[in-house]
Every structure is written in C-alpha cells, then in structure tokens.
Structure 1
Amino acid sequence: MSDNDSQKRAQFLAAYDEQLRTDAETPSAIKVIVQGPLRLVTFLNGRGFITYKNLGGADQAAIQRLVPEAMAYYQADAEIIRVEWKTRGHDHAPGMHEALIDNGFIRDEQESIMIGEASALAVDVPLPEGVTLRQVTEETDVRAMSAMQDEVFGDPVSDDMAEALLRRLAIDPGMELWVAEVEGRMVTAGRLELVPGTKFAGIWGGATREEWRGRGIYRALTAARARSALNHGKLLIHSDSTEFSRPILERSGLLKVSTTTPYYWKR
C-alpha cells in the first residue's frame, strides 16, 4: 500500500468511527438504550443488535462483565429470539472473543470494512447485451428481489427481509433498492443507504446469481448506486464486504480499512 493509500485509510477509518458508529448505524431500530459504552438496539421480529463507538479502554475483566450484563437485558425480554454483537478488528477489546463464546455466541464469517470516494465508483461500466438496471419500489419487485438474494446467499426464501425492506421504503427516503435484470429476471441486486448527517452512503446486500458473475454486472450496479449517492451529496461509500465483493470494490478504488466480525446468539 502506498503512503497516499495509508493516509487515506487512516482518514477513512477516523470518519467511519466518528460518523457511522452512532444512530446512523441502526436507522430502522425501534428502541435503543445505552449501557456503559454499549448501544443495545432492538429491531422488529425479535432481533437484538449490540454495537459501540468504542469500549472506553475497557480491559479484559471489564469486557467479561460487559457481555453478560448486556445479554441479561435481552434475555429478560421474551420477544427477543436472536442477537448480533458486531465487533471490529481495529478496536481495543481484549478477551472479547472468549467472553462472547462463553456467553453463548457463535462467531460468523469475517468481512472487510471498505471505504472510498463515491466518485471512484461512479464510472461507466458496459453491461452485457440484454442486461438492464433499474431502481425498484413496488411491493412485487421488492419481494422478488428479496427472494433472489435469499437464494443467492443460500438461505431459505423468507418474507422477513422483504417485509423489513417494505417498511423501510415506506418511512425512509434515504434507502434505495437497485436490480439488474435479463428478460425480466433479476440477476443482481443491492441497496443504497444514505446516512443522514454524514458524508456517507452505504452499499449493502449485493447478490449476483452464480451464472451471471464475472461479467461486470455487480460493478455496474455499484456504479449506479454511487452516482445516486453523489446526486444526494454523499462523497464517501462504505460497505461490509464478503470475499466475493471485496476485490470488485478494491478495483474500483475502495480501501480495506478494517474488518468486522459478527457474533450471533439465539434463544
């Protein structure tokens, strides 16, 4: 990595910690309480989510107390059936992995925190013949998009995400859903989330059917979302990326600034 990239990485990471690790991280929360350094968030459908801006220099002993204290809050609410604890690789959090495992959490796959200038992504990308891009808002399209993403990610097709997206569309003008289609069949999809009060927009949920990968469609969909972000005055793009999408975003000029690893608890 060049000195310029190292400087940009540090600037992007500082902006991420300052602007995105607040209410901006959980726009669809129905309840948020602060417990010490932690933000304990509740979403619809019995989902809990734990995050924090930093841990205030907590040592291993303090973290061993923080985790069960936070979980006591959710365990007391019978409607909560699953909780995600979001960790970041650049945090000072000694003993966090062990404390989470000891309290019933299961570690999921690590992802890369990617950040870059929206202008670096907002380029013209040629599409294969017959492929078109569009933004979707109608219920039938949203449900079809959600089902396609479930299939691509290897999950059972569920109404939960579609219902959540439809609720967000009804109340949040800062979320956009984008798809690529071939003869009316969705082959790629993803969403754009404009983060109020920040320079950021997030790109999330990128999914491409296996037989259509490697043809530039995901990159074109990313470019379309970046152009929309710029039109809304957002200068930076962020994403938690799997190993499928990370190389594409790196080729577009985004930098890996850290990692994030979710841990999941189920009742």
Structure 2
Amino acid sequence: MNPEHVLALYDDQLRRHAQPDDPHTTLELTHGVLRQTSTTHGWNGVIWSDLDHTTADAAITAQLRHYAGRPFEWKLYAHDQPTDLGQRLQTAGSTPEPAETLMAADTHDQPTTIDLPEGVHLQPVTDPTGIDLMLEVHRQAFGTSPTHLGHHLRTQLAQAPHTIAAVVAMAGQRPVSAARLTLHPGTDFAGLWSGGTAPDWRGRGIYRALVAYRARIAAERGYRYLQVDASDDSRPILERLGFVPLTTTTPHLFFGESL
C-alpha cells in the first residue's frame, strides 16, 4: 500500500467531497473550508480546508461567526496549510485535544478470524437497546457517556442503516467492549470508530477481534481500505495488524466563542 496515494484518496473522498454524516446536517464550502452544520445534536465543524497564510485568519473568523456561539470542532491534519494553522486556531480561542494518528490498511490484508476469550460473545447492534450497551462500554472505557454519540447512532441506525455496522462484546450479560464500522458509499473507505474496552478486560485480544469482525464486513461490502484515527493506546495494536500511519490529526475545539 502506498501511504501517499491512500492519503490523497482520503483527502479527496472523505474530506474534500465528504457527505453529511446525519440527515439533519448540511455541508457548505465557503471561505476555503468545507464545514458541517447540524440542526439537532449532531457534529458541527470543519472537515477540510484549502488555505494559506493570507486567507487562514479570515476563514477562522468566518467560522466563528457562522457557528454564532455554538461549540464546534476544526479537525486539523498535520499536512494542512498553512503550517502554523494550529497556532492560528489557538490564538482564535481553540483548545486542541491530543493528536491521533490517521492509519489505513488494505481490507483484504486483514485477518478475519475472530478469536474471543472464553465466555465472551459478539452481539450486533441493531436497535436502541444495543446502543445503550455501547454507551455503557464507553462509560467503562473512557469515563463518559456522550449524549451526542447516542443521538448520532440512533439516527444512523434508523435512517441510514446501510452506513453502519456496530457490535458489542458481551461477557455473560455485561458489555465489556464495543466498536462500530462506518461505511462511506461511493468511496474506497470504511472507518473504524468507537473502539473501547473496559479496563479489566483489556489485553485479552477483544480489540483485535472487533477489528477482524469489522474488516470482514468491509471486505464483503466492497470497501478497499480501512481507516482509523488511532490513539496512542490502539496504534501499536493496529501496526501489528498491518495498519500504516498516514498523518496525524488534532481536534481543535471551540467552546461557544463568537465574534
């Protein structure tokens, strides 16, 4: 796999020509950025930009005015221009979260054998009850149960079920790990998201099993690449599975500032 080629495809298909991730959102190309705006509880923010040192500040100001005091995210990639865009965003009031590594792998190179610890089984998420199990895993793994994630998953399952495949690993009646696969029709990419495992169940191969489960689905549906924003914890596991780093991405959060 050629990382530069795959990154160029990613930028073109999932950023420059992104599709709304929620029926209640709109995309708009303006001031050199592609932004998403939600009318409900969905994600607001900048997906792609084509800026330079002469246009960046005006573009940032335009987004602050557009979102009019609502929280939003500017998803910054290491290769975005200008090179000091991150500093400009912070000067304008953003708070950067920890950087993650954008990684990709050829779907057909991924193992699809699912090996689980004794007593653990996989339960596909097909209804609100399954989403509640996913949120419980999120609470155990990360200490939060984000309302916006629950809203997004319920909307996606109800209105665009062909774009998602989610699963929960159950130890008896307890949800101990969960993950989802986001499918992007018309592109080469399927995305791995929301992978998390309860602390007392880590290190037993469940994360790898959930990658294999989702890789099998992506391959069956004709997607060439898997992509993931990997944390420092998951990056070593993914590298052992053959995922290749493409770049890094840093969420810059604006908590309701306006101009």
TM-score of the aligned structures, taking structure 1 as reference length: 0.89
Q: In structure 1, list runs of 5 or more residues that go unmatched.
A: none
**Residue in 2 that maps onto 1:68:** 61
Relative to 1, partners in 2 of residues 1:92 and 1:81: Cα closer, same or farther, differing over 3 Å? closer
Query: Mean alpha-carbon deviation: is it higher for 257-266 or for 96-105?
Result: 96-105
AA aligned to 1:14 is A
Query: Mean alpha-carbon deviation: is it higher for 9-18 or for 255-264?
Result: 9-18
Q: In structure 2, list runs of 5 or more residues that go unmatched.
A: none
Structure 1 position 16 matched with structure 2 position 5: no
Divergent runs of 4+, >3 A: 22-26
Distance apart, 1:46 and its partner CA: 6.8
Structure 1 position 169 matched with structure 2 position 157: yes
Q: Judge conservation of contact 2:181–2:192 (CA < 8 Å) in 1.
A: yes
Please list the CA deviations of residues 166-193 of structure 1 after superposition, one character each: whole Å capped at 9, or x if unmatched.
Answer: 1110111211111111102111101001
Structure 1 position 98 matched with structure 2 position 87: yes
Q: Distance in 1 between matches of 2:254 and 2:121?
A: 40
Q: Give the alignment's Cα RMSD to 1 decimal.
A: 1.7
Please list the CA deviations of residues 119-138 of structure 1 after superposition, one character each: whole Å capped at 9, or x if unmatched.
Answer: 22233242111111131112
Is the partner of 1:98 in helix, strand or coil? helix
Is the partner of 2:181 in helix, strand or coil? strand
Aligned residues: 253
Q: Distance in 2 between matches of 1:265 and 1:167?
A: 25
Relative to 1, partners in 2 of residues 1:41 and 1:139: Cα closer, same or farther, differing over 3 Å? same
Identical residues among aligned pairs (%): 32
Alignment of 1:129-140 (within 5 A): 129-140=118-129
1:199 to 181, 184, 188: 188
1:30 to 8, 20, 25: 25
**Residue in 2 that maps onto 1:45:** 41
**Residue in 1 that maps onto 2:104:** 115
Distance apart, 1:100 and its partner CA: 0.9
Q: Distance in 1 between matches of 2:64 and 2:7?
A: 28
Q: Judge conservation of contact 2:156–2:163 (CA < 8 Å) in 1.
A: no
Q: Distance in 1 between matches of 2:151 and 2:94?
A: 26
Query: Mean alpha-carbon deviation: is it higher for 104-113 or for 137-146?
Result: 137-146
Relative to 1, partners in 2 of residues 1:229 and 1:258: Cα closer, same or farther, differing over 3 Å? same
Q: Judge conservation of contact 2:108–2:219 (CA < 8 Å) in 1.
A: yes
